[in-house]
Amino acid sequence: MGPASNELPGFFICYTIYIFAEKDKATMSKYLSILFLCCLPAWLWAGENYRFRVYLKDKGDDGYRVEEPEAFLSKQAIERRAKNDIAVTDADFPISRSYIDMLSETGVTPVVQSKWFATVVVESPDSTVAEQLQQLAIVDSVKWIWKGNLRVPAEEKGEDRFVPEDEPLCNEYGYAHKQIKMLNGTKLHEAGFQGEGMRVAVIDAGFMNADRISAFDSLRLLGTHNVVFPGKSVFVGDDHGTKVLSCLAADIPGVMVGTAPKASYLLLKSEDSDSEYPVEEDYWTAAVEYADSAGVDVISSSLGYFAFDADELSYEQAALDGKTAMISQAAHLAADKGILVFCSAGNEGNGDWEKITFPSDAAGIFTVGAIDEDKKKSGFSSVGFTIDGRVKPDAVALGTSSCVIGPNGSVRYANGTSFATPILAGMGVCLWQSLPWLNNREMIELLHRSSSQYKHPDTELGYGIPDFYKAYKKEKKNGKRAK
């Protein structure tokens, strides 16, 4: 994505310069320099801004009560907690508006917040403002997590529809047949389970043109939310989420059918594609909290972090314990709320890091690695285990030459645990639809037990390749459990 697509056309700061006399070389040189600088795009010469994560001592009191959860949670979120015997607690309360106002009075701009961690990310052009924030009675600590200038993607869009030019094949799933067959998912679909009634959040970098691609004409859209650029469209800027979504929700028989084509989807953008800083963890956490409050059943996320643009903020492998990184803690907390969370293992298998990335080290979630069509580990797929010895990845799916829909609406093939994850997650959605008496942790255990190397998990494939129809039959045979 070139710079021209990331700035407002014609927004240049220009001044009329009077050149006094040709003989006055110094004056001419001076003013020509000013002219050059002033005609640069504003974002290019503007000073950097800084973002800080402010840890609060508490969240204040706006009068919320656990006995009245409808004031801060959706009906579906309340029902999910009740179904799984999960109590509503003060962790679900929003941060007090008065606290946000107190932070704003220091001159900073609040950006994003987390009720689970009692944190607020604020922005300022002053790199020393942390000292002032630290003096506030409500503040526990302050951490620098980003610097730069955000460039909002242009939102000008045409009205064109994107229809695939691919020749339909003679099978229902088209070019995606291999990836669902590998998981024995077609039989589960044939049994009548394609995700109906299930609420799924997809957290990604952007869903370019997904609102204009014919493969998503039947998409059951719950809503969208842009955490990075609040109020802006999620359908511009980055197409990674478009390809991810297609693995789940594409529905053009003979061309591509995803693994959960009849589920309902909440599309959340949490990634700033132009930079890599710990603020991404705050964005992701906010997206997860949004998904929880909206009452989703499942989260599929194909984002992962470990190295940042500022080396001093990067993680060491010793942090892969599921408890250190904010993003991993957030994933675990989502699982504690009853959400079945699927995360990509990462694509660092061929690099120096090699290991899984954050938040895929979190406990209570399902981490997905990648294999090729010969069922061998994809070279790029990150490996486990966690530093405290837990099996990661949990399982694997096709991630080498995965069938996806690109931003032009046509089939293409892509590599990455980013695509193995939604392929497997979609089948998880359908399986849970078929076994509604299970909770999220029981679902994970069932998938482990139904995978190809359950008795001998390893660092590359985890428990192996899940057999979703086998899992369905195994649990269905026992009948609905008494609650």
298 Cβ neighbours under 8 A, 6+ residues apart: 198, 199, 200, 201, 263, 339, 340, 341, 342, 425, 428, 429, 432
Residues 197, 480 contacting (CB under 8 angstroms): no
CA distance 258 to 2: 31
Catalytic residue check, 418? yes
Catalytic residue among 204, 211, 292, 361: 204
* 204 part of the active site: yes
Q: Which has the closest alpha carbon to 348: 390, 379, 321?
A: 379
- Sort 366 into a burial class: Cβ within 10 Å, 0-12 / 13-18 / 19+: buried
Amino acid at residue number 25: K
Asked if 450 is an active-site residue, the reply is no
First-to-last C-alpha distance (Å) of the chain: 52
List 92, 114, 211, 240, catalytic entry: 240
In this structure, are strands 220-226 and 119-124 parallel, antiparallel, or unpaired?
unpaired
Asked if residues 283 and 271 have their Cβ atoms less than 8 Å apart, the reply is yes
C-alpha span between 368 and 317 (Å, rounded): 19
Which residues are bridge partners to 213 per DSSP?
162
- In the chain, how many H helices and how many E strands? 13, 15
Beta carbons of 133 and 102 less than 8 angstroms apart: no
Crossing angle between the packed helical segments 440-449 and 468-476, to the nearest 10 degrees: 110
DSSP characters for 161-230? -B---PPP-SSTTBTTHHHHHTTT-HHHHHTT-S-TT-EEEEEES--TTTTTBGGGTT-EEEEEEESSST
Cα(227)–Cα(272) distance, integer angstroms: 10
Q: What's the chain's Rg over C-alpha atoms? A: 24
From the list 246, 302, 328, 418, the catalytic residue is 418
- Tell me the angle at which helices 417-434 and 440-449 cross, rounded to the nearest 10 degrees: 110
Strands 109-114, 251-252: pairing is unpaired
Residues carrying an active site annotation: 204, 240, 418
